[in-house]
Structure 1
Amino acid sequence: MSTAAVRPATTGDASEIARLQLTTWRTAYGDALGGDVVDGLDADDVAARWADAVAHPDTDVLVATEGRFTVGFCVAGTAPESEVAAADGSLPDDAARTGLIASLVVEPRWGRRGHGGRLLAAAAAGLRERGADRGIAWVVQSDSASLSFFRGVGWNPDGTVRTLDTGQRTVRELRLTGSLDLRVADPAAEPTTD
């Protein structure tokens, strides 16, 4: 039997977070980003950036575990004005009370076991402690699994779209928003059998 959990990341988790990111990007976003984009990333450089993110005092980096395996991660913090602004640059009244889920990744082979929900719930709790009451996340428009996940917890597109140029392709992202008072069902509340 193995137990699923979420805990704060340490700098010692940086290499595993980098591995999870690169594996998931290759699997889920290779076509959207362009294969050379992901293949061109250096694992050591990515791990060093994750070590910096974990050490940053205004960022919460969480990891999901199942037994002895690290299976996902989430990065959250106060949303910068540039992330929460409307397309015309205007800020909503609650801009200072808006949190950003900058990344939420579960390695595909560990999907559909409640890890994403646990990560988001823990990140939302941390953002509420920082004074936020609403969250936002940017999701690749073609990522139906992530869009469905966020819609399942009550987060929906707010009409803001951005386009990113990867050097090989352009990627459209939708901004989703919702309450940080989450009641996420945990299908893996009971230990799972390996």
Structure 2
Amino acid sequence: MSLFSPTADVSVRPAVPGDEVAMADLQIAAWRATHAGALGADVLDRLDPDGFRTQWAAAVGTPPGPGFAVLVACAGPRVVGYVALSPGAIAGLEVAPDERRKGHGSRLLSAAVDRLRQDGAEEVSAWVLAGDEGREHFLSGAGMAADGRRRTLDVGGREVVESRWSATL
């Protein structure tokens, strides 16, 4: 019997076809755990896991262009988080609620910054939903700060406000 595992205990790698199932499930779980107050139960109850899987499959299999990428955090062979990148920006970063505070988010953010630099970005930005103090604390600890830009989105008939956080690379 070997004492060594065939997979790393924790890692970040590019997403591959098949990861979309875990990504969709953890996205919905993360939104329920973190954004219930801002999005409301009515919006969360209408989330479509199959729709999320389809969108993630497309993002992983056929990115829309240069600078777009999806990376996943793994605990052994399990996908426990993801970061989606667009040119110069973090389009989404989530870690499964039961896997938070284990370093997965930091590993994802570090890998994202490495990828953005590789793609020639000089800045990184991310949008944060109003009231998401955990994400604000996380990004602040990583050297990002609110840059004063805000946007209002209509989400299921409810207006939600996001602020942009950024840092120079």
- TM above 0.5, yes or no, is yes
Contact 2:24 2:52 in 1 (8 A): yes
For the residues of structure 2 that align with 1:73 and 1:127, how far apart are their CA atoms? Answer: 15
Count of aligned pairs between the two proteins: 160
**Deviation (angstroms), 1:42:** 1.6
**Deviation (angstroms), 1:169:** 2.6
Q: Which runs of 5+ in 2 are unaligned?
A: none
For the residues of structure 2 that align with 1:11 and 1:36, how far apart are their CA atoms? Answer: 31
Contact 1:34 1:168 in 2 (8 A): no
Q: Which runs of 5+ in 1 are unaligned?
A: 79-98, 181-194
Letter in 1 for 2:50: D
2:94 maps to 105
**Larger relative CO (CA 8 A, sep 6+): 1 or 2?**
1
Contact 1:163 1:173 in 2 (8 A): yes
1:153 maps to 142
Letter in 1 for 2:22: E
1:67 and 2:67 aligned: no
Moved more, 32-41 or 12-21: 32-41
**Deviation (angstroms), 1:168:** 4.3
**Deviation (angstroms), 1:69:** 2.0
Contact 1:34 1:166 in 2 (8 A): no
For the residues of structure 1 that align with 2:159 and 2:143, how far apart are their CA atoms? Answer: 28
Alignment of structure 1 residues 38-187 onto 2, 5 Å: 38-55=44-61, 56=63, 57-58=65-66, 59-78=68-87, 99-180=88-169
Letter in 1 for 2:75: E
Task: With the length of structure 2 as denominator, give the TM-score of the two structures.
Answer: 0.90
Segments ≥4 residues shifted beyond 6 Å: none
1:29-52 Cα shifts (integer Å, max 9, x gaps): 122111121221221111000011
**Deviation (angstroms), 1:68:** 2.7
Task: With the length of structure 1 as denominator, give the TM-score of the two structures.
Answer: 0.78
